[in-house]
Structure formats: C-alpha cells, structure tokens
Amino acid sequence: MRLITGLSNPTIKYLRSLRDKKHRRREGRFLAEGLRLLTDARETGHLPDMLVMAEGRDPHPLLDTLIEAVEAANGDVIEVSEAALSKITGKDNPQAVCGVFAEFDTGLDRIDRSSAPLFLVAQAMRDPGNLGTMLRTADAVGAGGLILVDDCADPFSVEAVRASMGAVFTVPLAQARWDEFQGWLRSGEGQLVAASLREPHDYREAPYVAPCFVMVGNESRGLPEEYEVECDLRVTIPMLGRADSLNASIAGAVLAYEALAKLR
C-alpha cells in the first residue's frame, strides 16, 4: 500500500483525468466511488485495477475484504489525503474509497434477448443522472439490459456511475446508433414499445409481448417521429395535473413495471 499526499503527484493527476470523457476513452478506465458500490462490484466479479482510500479513514471489514481481493489480483492499493480524494472525485465531501475499473464492452452482442422478458432502451438521453437512474431501474425490474441509442450521456461518467448505485456492474449495457439497433432488433424476436403521444395506447391497457423493449426518448424532445413509427406499440402515461410529461427516467420506470406485470 502506497501513501500519496501531494496534489501534483502524477497518479493523482491521472485519477483526476478520469473525470473527463476524453481521458476515460483513451485509458479505457472509469471511476466508481463508495464502499457499498465497490462491494457490489466485487460481489458481481468486478475488481478495480486501483483502489484509492482516504488517509485516516474509519476501519471497516468490507474494506478489508476489498483490499485483500485487489491485492490478490495484483491490483494497486493507495492511500491519499482527503484533499487529494476530493480533487479526484470532484466532491467537497467525498466518500472514503473509490476505485478505477476497466470499461466494459458495450456491443449489442452483450444483450441476450432470451435472458429476460423485459429490456430498457434510452434514446439520446443526455443527463448522466437520468442514465444512472435508468440503469438502477433496469436492475430493479430484472431487465435483461439497457440499450443506449444514438448520442447519450457517458454511462461511465462519475455522475452516471454514482446515480446507478452499482447497477452499472449488474445490468448488461449496450450502445448503438439507431440503424444498428433496428437491424439487431429485427434480426430476432422483440416488441419495441415507445413512450409517445402519437396515437398511443394507455400504458395500463397496452398489449405487451415478451421480449419487450421499452424505449424512452430525449429529456426535452422525446423520441423522433421517424423512430416512433418504426415501433410495434406506442403507449402514453396520463397526466392528471398541470405537468405535460414525466422525467424521462421516471417514465421509463413506470412503463417498465407495468409491462413487467403484464408479461408475468
């Protein structure tokens, strides 16, 4: 275990650079923060290449187990000052531990459409918090994966990973352009369901069919019309107050649970 205190140390600069998408892609690595999240990662077979801990942290048996696992896998374990950890994570009050993980393959071949009755799809979702929440929802409903279509937020950003509450390690994740996704989907079974206001069914009465791919669109624009017409089913969630729509990730959760109830 190494101790690093200087903020200008090359290792600190490297870790800090992983908050930037350009550097994450170059290195093929991303940051995950918090003992619970890192423990979930370990329990699902994912260990960090580097484990970073705050100097003077409180002892914890789960942290001891994590240290042993990383060292046994020839990973790097370092201690840093609280100021350095704050610089790395971008938070004034960072959690006492974070890890550096290799990015996952996000090809469509990671998605096994026979593995579950339900899958989630997000098109042009730009907010990393929403994306992380979609991952968390996918985990909660037992979805077979989350597919990100077109230019979405980076699922490996610190914000998205944090919002996923560990689901980034448990939910198969794929990224594709619309044409690529369409070709893959139509090569086998799969009902594509759009959250839409164009000639929709009420989401509670819609005829869902497994494997069901529930798709929500961009937070401000929704789904492009040309995408919606390619869907097998369009559904809407009634708005009973003054709001004309739900947050994209919340809409995805509502639709996912309703579809799952119908598919069981």
Same domain, 59 and 21: yes
pLDDT at 93: 67
Domain boundary among 102, 133, 165: 102
Residue in this structure with the two tokens 């003992």, named with its chain if needed: 35
Residue 92 sits in the same domain as residue 134: no
What's 121's domain CATH number? 3.40.1280.10
In 97-217, which residue ranges form alpha helices assigned H by DSSP?
128-140, 158-164, 178-186
Same domain, 92 and 152: no
Cβ atoms 250, 221 nearer than 8 A:
no
What pLDDT score was predicted for residue 88?
86
**Domain end point (choices 51, 69, 102):** 102
> How far apart are alpha carbons 220 and 141 in whole angstroms?
25
93 with 146, same domain?
no
Indicate if 219 and 254 belong to the same structural domain.
Answer: yes
**Is residue 97 located within the same domain as residue 115?**
no
Let me know whether 126 and 252 are in one domain: yes
Contact 218, 123 (CB under 8 A): yes
- The reported pLDDT for the residue numbered 92 is 67
pLDDT at 5: 75
CB neighbour class for 192 (10 Å; exposed up to 12, middle 13-18, buried from 19): buried
pLDDT in 10s for each residue of the chain, 264 residues: 788 877 788 999 999 999 999 999 999 999 999 999 999 999 999 999 999 998 888 889 999 999 999 999 999 999 998 888 888 887 766 678 899 999 999 999 999 999 999 999 999 999 999 999 999 999 999 999 999 999 999 999 989 999 999 999 999 999 999 999 999 999 999 999 998 877 788 999 999 999 999 999 988 888 999 999 999 999 988 878 877 677 889 999 999 999 999 997
CA distances for 180 relative to 147, 148, 229, angstroms: 11, 11, 17
Total-model pTM: 0.91
Tally the domains of the chain.
2
Which residues constitute the domain of residue 60? 2-102
| 128 and 223 assigned to the same domain | yes
